[in-house]
Structure 1
Amino acid sequence: MNDRLNQLSLFVRTVETGSFSKAAREFGLSQPSVSRAVASLEARLGVTLLQRTTRRLATTDVGQALAMSAREALAAIEEAENEARGADRLSGVLRVSMPVAYGVRQVIPRLPGFLALQPELKIELMMSDRFDDLVAEGADLALRLGNQPDSAFLTRKLATTDRIVVASPTYLTRRGVPADLDELGEHDCLGGPVDAGREVWSFRHGEKREDVAIDVGVRTGSGSGVIACAVAGLGIAVASTWMCAEELEDGRLVRILADYTLERIDAYVVFSSGRQPSRKARAFSDYLSEALNAKN
């Protein structure tokens, strides 16, 4: 039975990743051993699951159907085992997809506390500033920033954070400190992943909403990149308070335009579609929500 489950596990991850090599790396195996396992599965079932070419793998209709059923079955087996162990003895691998900066500054510092409660659980952090497909990544859940994700996915809001305007002392010495939004429009500004494609920043000043057209001198798809550019003196940035807290504390960045407020940004957990969140995914999101909202 274990051989059958191993074959199915390897087959599912091969389909999800589109590669024998990627599946092999995840399981700590060689690429040929994964290829042989899938071939043995095909021989045992008497069907072709994957069409192999020198350039790519293509899943047959039968293979797609099996991958979907096997994914649900494997998840159900792991869930049943964790239910039997109880909430304080979860096991297996929890795969979490998240933006790099959020992972480094918000999630990883809180992991020791979670793993102390769940010592038998292993964590795989899939850190990228791209919004990849959760199923293709094999993620149990993803952490996302900004607007609420697609309603087709089961989501949960974790925390809400203020955003502020920051710049380096070097930049402000060279270009001056903008006193209002009219002056801000004359400065070099930095574009990041949240405002990708927008050339307008929206503020509230008292009860009034004010928009300012910005001149983006440098744009980056990474939150960490925005902060690095601001520290380097390349321009003025909008950043969540958690993203620039260290730089504000040590003086590499300073807050400006404090009389103006920006729309706050939400952090969400997005659970992989197709089934209810697993016990381990629920436990992690519960812990992270409590930790992020704890009063310091």
Structure 2
Amino acid sequence: MQKLHELLRMGDLAAFVGIVDDGGFAESARRRGVSASTLSRSVTRLEAQLKVTLLRRTTRSIEITPEGAAVLAEAREILDRSETLQEIATSGQAPAGPLRVNAPVPYVLHVLAPRLAEFHAQYPDIQLSIDMTDALVDLIGSHADVAIRLGRVPDSEMLRRPLGRTAWKLVATPAYLDRTGWPETPADLAELKQVRFAAPDHINTLRFAGLADPVPVPPAVTAGNGEAVRQMVLGGLGIARFSDFMIAEDLRAGRLVELFAGQLDAEPLDISALYLTRVSGLRRLGVFLDWLGTISIG
């Protein structure tokens, strides 16, 4: 097979890799802001130069051929090396280029978003793109350069940079407690209502130092989004426990009050930035990770 680095069009290689990662021409075209026909021509050129079929195409899906899989692996390496060489060549210039970040919704809303103007002022030539998901993602498949995650990180090939820890706090609105009665002991919480997280369920378990069993609190409502739970608590539906960064401003403003501070038995969550070895040398990633360290919490 002809060496891929002898091909004249790096853009065709990038288009091919993107089509596979995105699962099809239409989605890849949408992400890149080009037409599907433009991407199709790129793949056709590659197939003509290599004299192999890379993708089997139908109206609904694509299937990579064995030859295409071999080309894909080498294409990734070439594109990675090309980007690294570009970083070296521009090392005297300000960091620039696209940087794709994946992070949980609450972290983006309460930690990143309020401070991103500072990062943009320092590095105006870095184009940030932020996707929000709570699940651990495949960095290649999701097009992410770095993922921010809360809690224990499973062993993987990804590198990890600690960004701090976040403690749990049990809170409610003063108006809700005025209406239902302020609990004097953790056991009194059983007389209140709890706004619950659909997942993970362990967030809803309220254990306290000195008590052998968790305190059972009847549910008021269950929601699948942390921000929805927060808004319901602010609306006076009940109590809930949150990572402290989610409700720090609410506590400072008096919209929420903490219940039994220091008595909640819940291990703090680690906050980590995860990234791959193949992008660890990119200066724009490096300065972003350094900046994350300056806004870390806990």
**Higher share in strand:** 1
Alignment of 1:127-142 (within 5 A): 127-142=132-147
Partner of 1:270: 274
Counterpart Cα distance in 2 of 1:253 and 1:52: 55
Partner of 2:3: none
RMSD: 2.6
Counterpart Cα distance in 2 of 1:70 and 1:202: 52
Alignment of 1:72-91 (within 5 A): 72-86=77-91, 89-91=94-96
Q: Is the 8 A contact 1:82 1:91 kept in 2?
A: no
What amino acid is aligned across from residue 78 of structure 1 in structure 2?
E
Partner of 1:49: 54
Partner of 1:17: 22
**Matched residues, number:** 291
Alignment of 1:148-227 (within 5 A): 148-192=153-197, 195-196=200-201, 200-204=205-209, 211-227=214-230
**TM-score where L is the length of structure 2:** 0.86
Counterpart Cα distance in 1 of 2:93 and 2:213: 50
How many Å apart are 1:95 and its aligned residue?
0.4
What amino acid is aligned across from residue 291 of structure 1 in structure 2?
I
For structure 2, list consecutive stretches of 5 or more residues without a partner in the other structure.
Answer: 1-5
Q: Does 1:6 pair with 2:11?
A: yes
Counterpart Cα distance in 2 of 1:253 and 1:30: 49
Partner of 2:289: 285
Flag the 1:3–1:115 CA change in 2: closer, same or farther, 3 A. farther
For structure 1, list consecutive stretches of 5 or more residues without a partner in the other structure.
Answer: none
What amino acid is aligned across from residue 233 of structure 2 in structure 1?
A
Q: Is the 8 A contact 1:100 1:129 kept in 2?
A: yes
* Deviation readout 1:185-240 (Å, 9 max, x if unpaired): 343223337743665233435xx776334444433332212211211222211112
Partner of 2:248: 245
Flag the 1:191–1:134 CA change in 2: closer, same or farther, 3 A. farther
Identity over aligned pairs, percent:
35
* Deviation readout 1:36-61 (Å, 9 max, x if unpaired): 22222222211122221222222222
Counterpart Cα distance in 2 of 1:250 and 1:152: 42
Flag the 1:71–1:219 CA change in 2: closer, same or farther, 3 A. farther
